[in-house]
Amino acid sequence: MAKFAETSIPAVFHNRVEQFGDRAIVAYKKDGVYTDISWKEMGQMVRNLGYFLINKGIKPGDKVCLFSPNRYEWWVTDLAILSIGAVNVPIYATNSAEESRYIIDNSDAVMCFTATKEHTSKIVSVKPKLPNLKDIISFDPLEKPIDGVLELSFALKEGAKNPQEAEFDKRIRDIKSSEMATIIYTSGTTGNPKGVMLSHNNFFANVQQLYNVDPELFKRADELTFLSFLPLAHSFERTVGYYTPMSYGMKVYFAEDFSKIVENFQEVHPTCIVSVPRLFEKIHAGILTKVAGAPPLKKAMFNWAMGIAAANLPYICNDKKPTGFFGFKYRLADKLIFSKLRAALGMDKLEFGFSGGGPLSVSDAEFFLGMGIKVVEGFGLTETTPVTNANSPRKIKPGTVGPAIKDTICKIGEGGELLIKGPQVMMGYYKNEEATKEVFTEDGFFRTGDIAEIDEDGYVKITGRIKDLIVTSGGKNISPQNIENSLKASPYIEQVAVIGDNRKYLSALVVPAFPELESWAKEQGINFSSRADLIKDPKVNELFAKEIEQNMKDYARVEQIRKFTLLDKEWSQETDELTPTLKLKRRVINQKYKDIIEKMYPATAD
């Protein structure tokens, strides 16, 4: 019989520790090699840290911040905080000292866990402005003692010396599923971020809802492995890539960072991943670029295989195996091309790729599906823990985010806005009743802020974001995301932002895919000393004009890009153009590049 009633994530975890014991729960890179941690070892670390927190006076409902990238200590800390009934307040690993100060202050946090020397120094620098913050606990060893900062290794030893087992177990049993588990701060693209309050039941319900998307997959949980690379501070990775595999006994590997993702794929060969569209975009574009420079025979074989892949879509999207003569052709293409591609990418065992956090282009989805990798798109928001919709692996419709998951109602409200009701919808915004009231309808539906359509099968298609809508000076409403997705189908376009609010026509800021562009430029005999030099070349600008024209051919005249400017630096979180989930911060981009944008709209332009 299970030790704890499974009404919260920590109760599930501690039951699984008893169940799986010496089996590996996670693996992390240590001295260049992936090293396992067993359920039993993880369980003991969680208990020891929980005992330490109890001895430090952390009470149920107290807020504890966690400022760290993805690593096994994130899990240990999160599970210890939740197990004793406290509230985990994650901070994105890329946040500045001031952004972190705001979250610690606004959430009323009394303690903060930090990962590296850099994270610790950021919190130490703002600690004088945080009267409620008592202790800082660093995962990495300190180079020299810092007043008010302890090491995690010390906290674990102290907890082991003074175990509070009865109190720890009582705290788990006392957790009410309706109580708050976390406050996740939105990325704050418009003013200060809002603290989204999610309950134990929000997470627990969403995990069970995800199970119902594909129960067959979970029956083989002990064979399945995840690769974790999206930020755990966001609810997408936390629910889909952490709480879900943990609840069903799947093993999770921690990627080193996004720049080493392909290398980590090749080491781990995961069966499941949770990703934003960016990964699929980069891999797809990289393959097409390599093929473009391949010898004619190889190129011809690849193009033949891509034709087979396109014809395979009705089969894989409806979970059917190709039969007859086409089945023979597909198996041949698989043997000669697809299997080699999957192996080279480390995706030879990948059964299930869940994409969310932004729209996945149809061309990217179909590329992976055609060669036998089930990439399914879903939808959700921080405020919905996050998943509300998901394509079923048994019926995939590229270009949609799938039907509503179990116990969730989707409907279209005023102005085409997607409205959601379900057990995964947040408790509200922390200390912000006005903002909470604004995002709910009178009949209790959550306003997503996304414009959508629902087809006859209940599959939802997101067509834009209300706050991102461009309204031209001619009064036309245009969704930039769809256009940007189409443009990113070009192997030469890495990032793009469509501009045009209150303007006579649309323009675009374009960040080239520089490895592909530089390779093309060398083939063309173009000499350049820097990227800034390269993007000024007339031939390069001609190439982009053709690429934009080609990828915009299906759009109406009013939606065409009339002018564009190439930029020589990629957008990132560090330079503030992207959120931690790699979405564009449109206001920041508009402000940062306002002089460049103005040059695309001369006073004489018609």
Residue-wise pLDDT for 558-584, tens only, equals 999 999 999 999 998 888 898 877 888
The average pLDDT across 537-566 equals 94
What pLDDT does 88 receive? Answer: 98
Residues paired with 566 in a beta bridge: 510
Query: What are the start and end residues of each CATH 3.30.300.30 domain in the chain?
Result: 469-599
Sheet holding 149-151, edge to edge: 149-151, 135-138, 111-114, 63-67, 87-91, 180-185, 195-199, 428-429
9-175 folds as Rossmann fold (3.40.50)
Percentage of the chain surpassing pLDDT 90? 82
Task: Give residue-wise pLDDT tens across range 225-284.
Answer: 999 999 999 999 999 999 999 999 999 999 998 888 989 999 999 999 999 988 898 888
At how many degrees (to 10) do helices 152-161 and 39-55 cross?
A: 80
Q: Is 194:431 a contact under the CB 8 Å cutoff?
A: no
Residue in this structure with the two tokens 């005999």, named with its chain if needed: 525
Radius of gyration of the chain (CA): 25
- pLDDT, mean of residues 381-394: 96
pLDDT band at 286 (very low <50, low <70, confident <90, very high): confident
Lowest-confidence region among 181-190, 383-392, 492-501, 560-569: 181-190
pLDDT of 479 reads 87
Q: Residues of CATH 3.40.50.980 domain(s) within the chain?
A: 9-175
Q: What is the pLDDT of residues 5-28, one digit of tens each?
A: 999 999 999 999 999 999 999 999
- 272-465: CATH class: alpha beta
| Distance from C-alpha of 421 to C-alpha of 419, rounded to nearest angstrom | 7
Domain with CATH 3.40.50.12780 in the chain: 272-465
Q: Would you state the pLDDT for residue 246?
A: 97
β-pair partners for 390? 378
Mean pLDDT, all residues of the chain = 94
Half-sphere exposure of 230 (CA within 13 A, CB side): 26
pLDDT digits (tens, 9 = 90+) for 120-158: 999 999 999 999 999 999 999 999 999 999 999 999 999
Mean pLDDT score, 84-88: 98
At 477, is the pLDDT very low, low, confident or very high (cuts 50, 70, 90)?
confident
Output the pLDDT for position 188.
Answer: 56
pLDDT at 93: 94
Domain boundaries 469-599, CATH class: alpha beta
What's the rounded Cα separation, in Å, for the pair 37 and 16? 14
Nearest to 589 by CA among 605, 565, 606: 565
